[in-house]
Amino acid sequence: MNFFEHQAAARRGSFRMVMLFALAVAGIVLVIDLIVLLLVGLQREDAGSGSLIGLMVVSTLATLAVIGLGSLYRVASLRAGGEAVAQQMGGSEVSHDTQEPSLRRLRNVVEEIAIASGVPVPRIFVLEHEAGINAFAAGYAPADAVVAVTRGALDRLNRDELQGVIAHEFGHILNGDMRLNIRLMGVLFGIMMLGIIGQRILVYGRGSRGKDALPVFAIAGAAALAGFVGLFFGRMIKAGVSRQRELLADASAVQFTRQSAGLAGALKKIAGLSSGSALEDKGKAEEVSHMLFGEGRAYSRLFATHPPLLQRIRLLDPLFGQHQLDELARRWAVAPPDGLLEDHTLRVAPGGPPPLPTATAVLPLTPPKVVAQVATPTPDDYGRARIIAATLPEPLQLLAKQREQVMPLLLALVIDGVPSVAARQRFEIAARLGEAMAARVIQLREAYLRDLHPAHRLPLAALAFPVLRRFPRPELDAFIDTVDAAVHADGKVSLFEYCLARLLQVQVREALSPAQGRPFGRRKPHDVRGPFATLLAVVAQAGHDTPTKAQHAYLAGLQRVLPRDHLPYAPPTQGVLALDDVWEPLDALDPLAKQLLVEAVTAAVSHDNQVRVAEAELLRTICGVLHCPLPPMLEKG
């Protein structure tokens, strides 16, 4: 499956989860009603059918209320997104300037894979008190994502293995699994709520005596029994939703890191070490078991949220068998592996990916090739990400990680190269954030960004994003307003600068309100003909020097997505600003319809066979706004 098919499958998974949840609720209600009926029948033999029906209605409504309120409470507690999950699991955030070798290695790996996948760098957490090898990604959208790993993963895994684990988690980020997983946490809490209530009553009511205590214990027992039913269905739901997705994420990890040995090595260490992937806190492990890299606690095969370890390993290393696993277990029982020590002894392969192309290089892009690369980094992407990170000027890397510099740095990225437009943008920034901020923006633009390689602009924004999202909401709102004003300061703002600003706005808004982020879309191309035509017209006009060439490019793109429609080429008079009205309807497209959209925009950009690096970056930016992330370079064959 490609990215768009993964997204469509994730939407179907959401529907399946709702159906299974409804079945679980029905089962719990039935159990409670039967228990109530049994208790009342034993105590009141003369109870009439009318009173029994009324009592069961009350019982049903009360049960539904408890389940519903429990789910709503848990969903509300997770509105902060991935950060809330990581903190509730006891995670400690990794500072951007950490000097601890294992944490520095972790941050480097996460940053490189984020650049390779074309998404903002997520916040990074470590579960310091967990000795097992495990990890998870949580959040509602890539802009809100966090990646958390256990201390055991940092201590036991070498760099290649850590890359495999982190790449696996990025597979969940890109494939649409995170939103489903975090909502699953909320709804499952509701169906287990009665069991929690029953257990609390039994614990706190142990000292009660006499006949008055009997009804209390009967109710507690009934609630506990219903809780077991909820636990059964909850584990079934998690197993049904999670198991296949783990195999898909394993496949994504291999694509990210260009080799399967790292991921296979991590799985072998989980299988061969006594600590495995188990978490110490069994209660928390139960709740998040469906989003972990490995099993957080022991389950029977029926309830397992992950495929068997040996099966996962053999898909990556077909020659690996049980006897080899037993040998590793015996060796590690005597001398457990040390990941950092292994890094020093690993042989570095010669060669590497080709260097970055020049800014004027012409890239051979085709619509099918670009669609195949959406959220699916190919072998060279990971290496290219390391090159981009290594060649990004060091002063810019430092600025991107300094709280007081990140806002002026990102604003400097959207300053236009035309002096008159830049002057108007400077005025708008000064009016909102002060003269000192405006002066610093222009200073950074002149000192570092005027001649910045086009392939460095989006990665620089990705590296800066974790620091940006730490600002208080009022300051982020002011930043978004300033970016918007800078973009609209003059209609001559370039299409790339406009789209980059829009991408920053989208990511900041999603980080501010994670739970309100974009759900899976349902619209079809024929529902959004106007926005399609506007986007293609603006892209065609920006990339071609004559109206005739632009018209041909527009028609080439339109043919990809609406081949039977006759929408004349009509560039909007307001230029790029006309795109303000197209993003929301286009982002609401069905995943497979978005595939057609990416093909159409690529066809328009590449129609003259003169796609330069700057145009490829424009394409990446447009795809980012529409939540279809592309890897860092697109010229591969």
Side-chain-side CA neighbours of residue 570 (13 Å): 8
Q: Which residue has the higher pLDDT, 66 or 260?
A: 66
Reported as a pLDDT band with limits 50, 70 and 90, residue 446 is very high
Reported as a pLDDT band with limits 50, 70 and 90, residue 637 is very low
Q: Tell me the C-alpha to C-alpha distance, in Å, between residue 181 and each of 164, 242, 289, 417, 590.
A: 21, 8, 10, 44, 20
Neighbours of 39 (CB within 10 A): 16
Task: Tell me the average pLDDT of the chain.
Answer: 82
- Say if strands 146-150 and 135-138 run parallel, antiparallel, or are unpaired: antiparallel
User: Which percentage of the chain shows pLDDT scores above 90?
Assistant: 28
What would the DSSP string read from start to end of 345-406? Answer: HSPPPS--SPPPPPTT-EE---HHHHHHHTT---HHHHHHHHHHHHHS-HHHHHHHT-HHHH
Q: What is the mean pLDDT of residues 378-397?
A: 80
Residue 443 tokens, joined: 């200073």
Please tell me the predicted confidence (pLDDT) of residue 248.
Answer: 60
Q: What is the mean pLDDT of residues 589-602?
A: 89
User: Which percentage of the chain shows pLDDT scores above 70?
Assistant: 81
147: CB partners within 8 A, 6+ apart: 110, 122, 123, 124, 125, 135, 136, 137, 166, 169, 170
Please tell me the predicted confidence (pLDDT) of residue 365.
Answer: 79
Q: Where are the domains of the chain?
A: 1-81+158-272+304-343, 362-378+520-625, 384-516
Cα–Cα dist 21/189, whole Å: 11
Residue 329 tokens, joined: 């277990």
Statement: residue 352 has pLDDT above 60: no
Residue 552 tokens, joined: 């041909």
Catalytic residues: 169
Per-residue pLDDT of 448-461, as tens digits, reads 998 888 888 888 99
Please tell me the predicted confidence (pLDDT) of residue 296.
Answer: 76
Listed range (230-234, 415-419, 481-485) with the worst mean pLDDT:
230-234
Per-residue pLDDT of 13-63, as tens digits, reads 566 667 777 887 888 888 888 877 776 665 555 555 666 777 778 888 888
Reported as a pLDDT band with limits 50, 70 and 90, residue 250 is low
| pTM for the full predicted model | 0.79
Per-residue pLDDT of 335-345, as tens digits, reads 999 998 888 87
Closest Cα partner for 59 from 72, 43, 74, 40?
40
Reported as a pLDDT band with limits 50, 70 and 90, residue 350 is very low
Q: What is the mean pLDDT of residues 476-489?
A: 91
Q: Which residue has the higher pLDDT, 489 or 6?
A: 489
Closest Cα partner for 245 from 192, 184, 286, 322?
184
Residue 149 phi, psi dihedral angles, 5° rounding: -130, 155
Cα–Cα dist 195/290, whole Å: 20
